[in-house]
């Protein structure tokens, strides 16, 4: 969350420190846990998906996405004077239409961005009422739109997580509001920029970024995507309608449907406007650009147009398996194939003992069950299954059909799955320096084994894992024990299991 402390009066020296982190109030915000009944959400999503399928257009995608195309939303109004273009889904197929902002519409959007900061306003009651309606009454249609556009197999879990995480973040916002009222912090109220993510936009973009900012009176500008753009716009339209119903100032929420050059122009204008505000300039506070996506893209955007980049980026997620019993092997396969490798937490690298991580064993591990192969996203949603391979497969990052990367083996039975088994962690910064591509939405797994003579559970192995995590900064690292290694008598005597000790050492060398 962005904030600014009041300036200190000379001759005192100004300094920065963390706000709220690891405090008792911060800890208290995480309880109580919310229980969520997902059955009604899943039923509503399947029903809404059936309605979208029933209206499929000969041009591709739902007819309503052509008849009511994506547009810019400004002050609660649709801007419909721009060039009409077609949109594409995660499979490269046409699925609707979009009106890109015209010259006059861009000027209006720029005036909105460059205007004065919003006044302090407590919008928490209104925003939380409309958020409850969106999550409880409109979840089905939002999940269905995401399924059609992105091919998301399990949009229900995203809403379950939103129901559980939102109260935590609301309590953190309540603390911030009170801290600002007490003069402890200052919350800037210039626009926040939100470029939508492809696979988790309902929780991350709608709830965490947009609604949590709006409820503190911070204006939000959401930017359209170049592909899988339809479903984020559909929640944006629903939100604009709900804001109107709650009589919230419509200028606080803007959706920009524009070409990439015009979006870049708008981002630069927002940055200049923030810099021209005396208080913001004194603090050196650029316009926040709340990005979720690839690390390399985040770095380019920050260097070129968005110095206020606040990024959550995916990385090559790692699982350490001190052994590969069936339960751990199954967990690895599920993680590698989650959403056809379309989650930022999908497994990319597995470290396992050389004796167990043979080519034959890895091939058997990745022999995806027939029930999880070749289905469409709606079938997975109906079955409540989050992992599996889509047919057809999503296009690769470069827009081309998926293919086996050089140096990897195409799985003999599971089409679309590639793997390689090698000694040492890939791109470890020492002996192996080849780039480690993430292969978004392609199931590609590196299975690494320790160097000869190195016990996978040793301190030397843990230290290597810690260094690798620092180098690659993945979102997740899991450590699983080996059957027979963590003996019950040792645990009873007070000695922690090997994987607990290993995980602690890795944490201490990477956190």
Question: How far apart are the C-alpha atoms of 289 and 256, rounded to whole Å?
Answer: 14
Would you call 9 helix, strand, or coil by DSSP?
Answer: coil
pLDDT at residue 464 above 50? yes
Classify 318 as helix, strand or coil: strand
- Give the predicted TM-score (pTM) of the model: 0.88
Q: Choose between 393 and 374: higher pLDDT.
A: 393
At 5, the pLDDT band (50, 70, 90 cuts) reads very low
Q: Nearest CA to 478 among 347, 364, 339?
A: 347
For residue 248, the SS3 value is coil
Per-residue pLDDT tens for 59-114? 999 999 999 999 999 999 999 999 999 999 998 899 999 999 999 999 999 999 99
Nearest to 468 by CA among 292, 319, 297, 359: 319
- The CA distance from 78 to 255, in Å, is 9
Residue 155 CB neighbours (<10 A): 30
- Specify the DSSP element, H or E, that contains 279: helix 278-283
What's the pLDDT at 277? 76
Q: Six-digit token pair at 503? A: 């995980």
Mapped onto helix, strand or coil, the DSSP state of residue 488 is helix
Share of the chain above pLDDT 90, in %: 64
Look at residue 13 in the predicted model and tell me its pLDDT: 41
- Rounded CA-CA distance 87/65 in Å is 9
Q: Which two tokens stand for residue 138?
A: 């409109």
Lowest mean pLDDT among 191-195, 245-249, 300-304: 300-304
Query: Are 205 and 41 contacting, i.e. CB atoms less than 8 angstroms apart?
Result: no
Helix 230-245 × helix 139-150 angle, to 10°: 160
Rg (CA), the chain: 24
Of 266-275, 278-287, 435-444, which has the strongest mean pLDDT?
266-275
Mean pLDDT calculated for residue range 298-326 = 90
Alpha carbon of 106 to those of 196, 234, 266, 294: distances in Å?
Answer: 19, 21, 8, 28
More confident residue, 478 or 399: 478
Q: Got the DSSP string for 109-164? A: HHHHHHSPPPPP---HHHHHHHHHHHHHHSHHHHHHHHHHHH--S-HHHHHHHHHH
| Residue from 434, 435, 427, 428 nearest 464 by CA | 428
pLDDT tens by residue, 37-57? 999 999 999 999 999 999 999
Q: Note the pLDDT of residue 64.
A: 97
Banded model confidence at residue 246, pLDDT cuts 50, 70, 90? very high
**Model confidence over 103-137: pLDDT tens digits?**
999 999 999 999 999 999 999 999 999 999 999 99
């Amino acid at each position: 969350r962005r904030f600014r402390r009041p300036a200190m009066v000379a001759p005192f020296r100004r300094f920065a420190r963390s706000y709220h982190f690891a405090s008792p109030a911060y800890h208290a915000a995480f309880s109580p846990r919310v229980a969520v009944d997902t059955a009604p959400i899943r039923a509503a999503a399947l029903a809404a998906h059936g309605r979208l399928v029933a209206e499929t257009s000969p041009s591709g995608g739902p007819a309503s996405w052509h008849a009511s195309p994506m547009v810019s939303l400004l002050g609660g109004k649709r801007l419909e004077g721009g060039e009409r273009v077609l949109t594409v889904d995660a499979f490269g197929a046409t699925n609707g239409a979009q009106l890109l902002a015209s010259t006059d519409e861009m000027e209006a959007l720029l005036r909105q961005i460059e205007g004065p900061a919003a006044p302090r306003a407590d919008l928490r009651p209104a925003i939380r009422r409309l958020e409850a309606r969106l999550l409880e009454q409109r979840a089905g249609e939002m999940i269905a739109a995401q399924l059609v556009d992105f091919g998301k197999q399990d949009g229900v879990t995203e809403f379950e997580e939103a129901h559980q995480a939102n109260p935590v973040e609301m309590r953190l916002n309540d603390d911030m509001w009170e801290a600002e009222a007490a003069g402890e912090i200052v919350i800037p109220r210039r626009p926040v920029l939100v470029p939508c993510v492809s696979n988790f936009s309902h929780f991350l973009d709608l709830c965490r970024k947009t609604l949590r900012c709006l409820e503190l009176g911070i204006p939000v500008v959401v930017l359209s995507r170049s592909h899988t753009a339809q479903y984020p716009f559909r929640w944006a339209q629903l939100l604009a309608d709900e804001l109107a119903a709650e009589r919230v100032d419509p200028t606080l929420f803007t959706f920009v449907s524009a070409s990439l050059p015009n979006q870049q122009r708008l981002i630069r204008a927002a940055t200049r406007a923030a810099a021209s505000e005396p208080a913001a300039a004194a603090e050196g506070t650029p316009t926040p650009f709340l990005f979720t996506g690839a690390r390399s893209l985040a770095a380019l955007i920050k260097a070129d147009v968005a110095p206020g980049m606040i990024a959550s980026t995916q990385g090559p997620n790692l699982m350490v398996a001190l052994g590969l019993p069936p339960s751990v092997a199954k967990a690895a396969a599920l993680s590698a194939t989650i959403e056809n490798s379309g989650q930022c937490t999908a497994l990319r690298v597995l470290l396992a003992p050389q004796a167990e991580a043979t080519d034959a064993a890895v091939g058997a591990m990745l022999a995806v069950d027939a029930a999880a192969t070749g289905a469409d996203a709606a079938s997975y949603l109906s079955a409540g299954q989050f992992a599996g391979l889509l047919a057809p497969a999503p296009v690769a990052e470069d827009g081309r059909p998926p293919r086996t990367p050089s140096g990897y083996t195409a799985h003999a039975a599971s089409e679309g799955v590639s793997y390689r088994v090698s000694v040492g962690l890939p791109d470890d910064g020492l002996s192996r320096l080849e780039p480690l591509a993430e292969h978004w939405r392609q199931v590609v797994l590196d299975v690494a084994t320790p160097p000869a003579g190195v016990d996978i559970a040793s301190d030397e192995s843990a230290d290597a894992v810690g260094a690798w995590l620092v180098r690659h900064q993945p979102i997740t690292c899991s450590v699983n024990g080996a059957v027979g290694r963590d003996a019950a008598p040792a645990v009873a005597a007070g000695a922690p299991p090997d994987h607990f000790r290993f995980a602690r050492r890795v944490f201490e060398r990477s956190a």
